[in-house]
Amino acid sequence: MGPYTITYFGVRGRCGALRIMMADQGQEWKEILMDFADWTKGDLKASCVFGQLPKFEDGGLVLYQSNAILRHLGRNHDAYGKDGKEAARIDMMCDGVEDLRLKYGKMIYQEYDTGKDQYIKDLPNHLDKFEAVMAKNKTGFLVGDKPSFADYSLFEVLLNHLVLCSSCLDTSPSLKSFVEKMSARPKIKAFLGSDAYKKLPINGNGKPVIILNKEG
Ligand code: 6SG
């Protein structure tokens, strides 16, 4: 396996879950940071299958599409269920997270100022679905009894939502405990505390804007 290389912009964005997953799996990887001025020259874009980043290399295998990369890591690191049925349910949950990711991205990039408050109001309707699956499985993971790539994707999207709205998990006890337990896994804790992680903004447009309270 590997060496793994990620080529991406200097944000967490579409690589947040991948990086957390690789860190938790004890996998090292190399980062190639693409600055936007170089990207607009177009050479790399023209070489990318869908004209977008991230680009992921595993030895000679070159992949695009963050969820395909997550699935590849799932296969490589035994994080894709114990059989075909678990794998199918993990796929389903990852696609559910993707739907939430797209709604979040639309709000962040297209309607932050006009749509953020309504987005936060509607959020329980979306989080409830994940809460129900998590509560029903009882292991602390979405499917099976160890983390799958769908758990890493959900975890990362929940971290981003907590930055948007720090109380958003207060009515979702299973998700709250999931985030606490994932955050406390030693390799995740070390990664989330690293400069490499902390220096990167969540999104490419500086949103969400964090307003500190008077004491903060
Ligand atoms: C942007 O959308 O960060 N890739 C993005 N943008 C450049 O020319 N379905 C796939 C996947 O899951 C989506 C890929 C994704 O992998 S990620 C891409 O390649 C293009 O289309 C979101 C993100 N945006 C911030 C950003 C960095 C560079 C361009 C957009 C910040 C804004 C402008 C410059 C720096 Fe910026």
Report the distance separating Cα 213 and Cα 125, nearest Å: 28
Listing DSSP states for 157-189 in one string gives HHHHHHHH-TTTTTT-HHHHHHHHHHHHSHHHH
Query: Which residue matches tokens 């295998």?
Result: 61
Answer whether 10 contacts ligand 1 (Cβ < 6 A).
no
Report the distance separating Cα 126 and Cα 71, nearest Å: 23
Provide the pLDDT confidence category of residue 216 given band limits of 50, 70 and 90.
very low
Q: Work out the mean pLDDT of the chain and round it to a whole number.
A: 96
Bridge partner residues of 31 (DSSP): 6
Q: Which pLDDT score, from 0 to 100, does residue 182 have?
A: 98
Separation in Å, CA 56 to CA 42, 67, 72, 99, 153: 18, 11, 10, 22, 17
Provide the pLDDT confidence category of residue 166 given band limits of 50, 70 and 90.
very high
Question: What are the residue boundaries of the structural domains of the chain, listed by start?
Answer: 4-77, 84-184
In this structure, how many other beta carbons lie within 10 angstroms of the beta carbon of residue 1?
Answer: 9
Task: Output the residue whose Cα is nearest ligand 1's atom 6.
Answer: 52
Separation in Å, CA 58 to CA 27, 63, 84, 98, 202: 12, 8, 24, 23, 25
Give the CATH superfamily of 4-77.
Glutaredoxin (3.40.30.10)
Bridge partner residues of 57 (DSSP): 5, 62
pLDDT at 213 over 70: no
| Length of the chain as a residue count | 216
Residue 9 Cα: closest atom of ligand 1: 27
84-184 adopts what CATH topology? Glutathione S-transferase Yfyf (Class Pi); Chain A, domain 2 (1.20.1050)
| pLDDT (average), residues 81-87 | 98
pLDDT digits (tens, 9 = 90+) for 148-164: 999 999 999 999 999 99
pLDDT digits (tens, 9 = 90+) for 125-148: 999 999 999 999 999 999 999 999
Q: State which of 6, 7, 8, 11 you would mutate to test the pocket of ligand 1, scoring each by most atoms of that ligand within 8 A of its C-beta.
A: 11
Q: How far is the CA of 16 from the centre of ligand 1 (A)?
A: 13
Provide the pLDDT confidence category of residue 210 given band limits of 50, 70 and 90.
confident
Provide the pLDDT confidence category of residue 214 given band limits of 50, 70 and 90.
low
pTM, whole model, 2 decimals?
0.96
